[in-house]
Chains A and B, each alone.
Chain A
Amino acid sequence: MQQGEEIQKLIWEGSIPLIINLGEEMLTNNKKKIQPFYTMSSRMSYLFTISQDIINYFEDALKEFIEKNSDKAIDLEKNLWLDFNKIPLKWYQPTGVLYDTITGEMGKKFLPWELTAHFTSFPDNILFKISQAEMEQLFFHSFKESCFLLCGSTAYIDKFNPLFQSELIKNAFLINQKEYISSLSQLGFDYKNEKSLATRLIYQGKLRQLPISPQNDGEETLLYQALEKYGIFKKIDNQQLLKSDSKPEALSIETDESSQFENQNEIQNENENQSENQEKNDEINLIEKFENIQQNFQIVIQGIMPPLDTPCWWLAEYCKHPDGFIYIIVNDRKNR
């Protein structure tokens, strides 16, 4: 198995242990303690997919609540929302992305992840209510959006029969990696040579989205170059970056016309040495630049911190989420 495929398999197998408590407002009998719901959620999936399990687990407590509030018709599935430390979770975003964003901002890991389930006071200003069918459509349209960014059209998806759509959604939600990859392979993407790659970056709670070209002037676009396109490194001390960008004086190419070489071989050797020196110094500059970035930011993709010189097409091929987007989570280190 190739390294990329092995990593992809491990990523798809990643899960987050969850402890889900019922919100205090739902407890009608204070004396009765309700045991929390323990479960595992795949990092690649959506918290939405466990909503029915949560409702089923708290069935008795919810019955009591509904009886006491019989004047209000409550659609449990549509009104369910989860929070972590009173932060409402956008559960139509992949679970791993939510976890990495929130715990990353707080600067530490919370495992198992303790969440609270609510069925009242839905935070309409932050979340929107969504049904199972709507969630499936939302996922598929997000998938089409990423495909459009990849190759500028989705006509080839529309030509597949409706079974393709339902299979893709089912395999994505149930985390059937092999079947999902098999469905995806029908579309024949070649990430290295597509028009652009679909990326989403979450920084300071804000989700941004940009198309990133897999190649730039014939060279592979690397992760740090994609991050530069998002402009988040502007916050780093400019002098630090200028220092690492500037070329040492020893590298400056001699242009004095009076300097002549008697032997053409000497010129060639000198040029080769200069070229080697240039490459070495470029490497040193890049290492310094990476150190600067890593001192200031934590860059996380799929729960891991990939090297900043990872080619973006590789991330798209092996580290994308089932909706086709690469989610890059950036957190400030200085705020901790």
Chain B
Amino acid sequence: MSTQKQRKKKVQDPNNVIVKFIPTAGVPLTKITKFQIKKEWTIGQLSTWWRSKLKLDENQSLLFYIQQSFSPSLDETVENLYNCFQAGNILSISYALSVTWG
């Protein structure tokens, strides 16, 4: 009787969505770029968390952009942005240390 390897498939929490962080020129890079993020998080909360991941100094600014076009408000939720701008079930967010798309 042949044994079958059971592959554990990572199940996505329905309260989370996948966010992909896209670096712009001159920003610190990370090995992992896709994360499961709580839908209810605001951009302000996401920014605080991502700053710690990037180990940014307090005086360094961090800007998020959607669709390489606009910067979402700090109290906009990840869920709202995902519902409007996801592609292939992934919300892509570009990050920059200075104004990139005015």
Residues of A within 8 A of B (CB): 90, 92, 128, 137-138, 141-142, 144-145, 148-149, 153-154, 158, 165, 207-211
Contact = CB atoms under 8 A, between A and B. Distances in A.
A228 to B, nearest CB: 15
Interface stretch (B22-30, B51-59, B67-75, B89-97): B67-75
B70 A149 contact: no
Contacts of A128: 44, 74-75
Contacts, number: 44
B69 A137 contact: no
A141 B67 CA distance: 12
B66 to A, nearest CB: 7
Contacts of A210: 83-84
A141 B101 CA distance: 10
Contacts of B66: 145, 148
B70 A141 contact: yes
13 contacts: A92-B73, A138-B73, A142-B70, A145-B66, A145-B69, A145-B70, A145-B72, A148-B70, A148-B85, A149-B84, A207-B77, A208-B83, A211-B84
A158 B100 CA distance: 12
A210 B67 CA distance: 16
A207 B72 contact: no
B75 A90 contact: yes
Given A90-B75, A128-B44, A128-B75, A144 B80 contact: no
A154 B69 contact: yes
A91 B77 CA distance: 17
A141 B102 CA distance: 8
